[in-house]
Amino acid sequence: MRVWREGAVHVSLNEVRTLVAKAAVGSGLPVGTAAEIGHAAAWLVAVGEDGIGASVAGLSAKKTSSGSGMAFHGPGTVDLLLSTASGTALAVESADAPVLLVGLIGQALARDGREAEVTVSAEDGASVQVRGDGVSASPDILGSAPQCPCLILTLHSGQAGTPPAAADGVLVDAADWRRLSDLAARTLVPADTSSRDRGAGAGDIDNE
């Protein structure tokens, strides 16, 4: 049972994907990388994991590790993993956001419709299997920052799948949602009279 620190907010998966992507841009990530982070968060949420918390963790870690964290390198790491032959192991040192990495793997498998699954193992023996349609155990067992575990990723053949649709939306932690909203707000341009008057190409009042 998930406990909300400051209550929960009901959101749609599309909101999760777009807000997290904007937050990632707001935190300084390249736009293509940010889009992958957004997909990862939505995938995690759809399979019942805390994609919002994972995004906050990943984007916060990115800030403290000068761009060396999973949020920055995760999409590229998944690219490399998916380029390897089945059974080949890929080591990720100091993974500062393991849950986000699992989300990045899951969304890639799902969007590709790839007939594959990935085993993510930590040094302490904990491991999870990631498929396009879900994960075998909570990725929380892989650890988190500040421990930054070393992870081994192994690609296997498997079944293609997509996550459930979450037709009723999802509940997410209100405090985390607000933190992401604050990051996303960094992408907004401050308004002034000039931009209000000219930027949209329309007047203020429509009474005709």
Pick the stretch among 8-16, 91-99, 120-128, 130-138 that binds other proteins (CB under 8 A): 8-16
Q: Which residues of 41-70 are buried (b: 16+ CB within 10 A; e: fewer)?
A: bbbbbbbebbbbbbbbbbbbbbeebeeebb
Q: Are 15 and 79 in contact (CB under 8 A)?
A: no
Least distance in angstroms from the C-beta of 107 to other proteins: 8
Interface with other proteins (CB under 8 A), residue from 169, 174, 175, 181: 169
Angle at 80 between CA 157 and CA 18, to 5 degrees: 95
Interface with other proteins (CB under 8 A), residue from 76, 123, 157, 182: 76
Nearer to other proteins, 100 or 143 (CB): 100
Alpha helices, DSSP H, located in 27-129: 31-46, 51-64, 70-83, 98-112
Question: Is 111 a residue that touches other proteins (CB under 8 A)?
Answer: yes
Interface with other proteins (CB under 8 A), residue from 80, 137, 157, 159: 80
Pick the stretch among 70-78, 95-103, 124-132, 144-152 that binds other proteins (CB under 8 A): 70-78
Residues from 32 through 51 that contact other proteins (CB under 8 A): 32-33, 35-36
CA 109, CA 112: separation in Å to the nearest integer? 5
Question: Is 94 a residue that touches other proteins (CB under 8 A)?
Answer: no
Tallying the residues shown for the chain, one arrives at 208
CA 8, CA 4: separation in Å to the nearest integer? 6
Which residues in this chain contact other proteins in the complex, by CB under 8 A? 9-15, 30-33, 35-36, 72-73, 75-76, 78-80, 82-83, 107-108, 111-112, 165-169, 185-191, 194-196, 199-202, 204-208
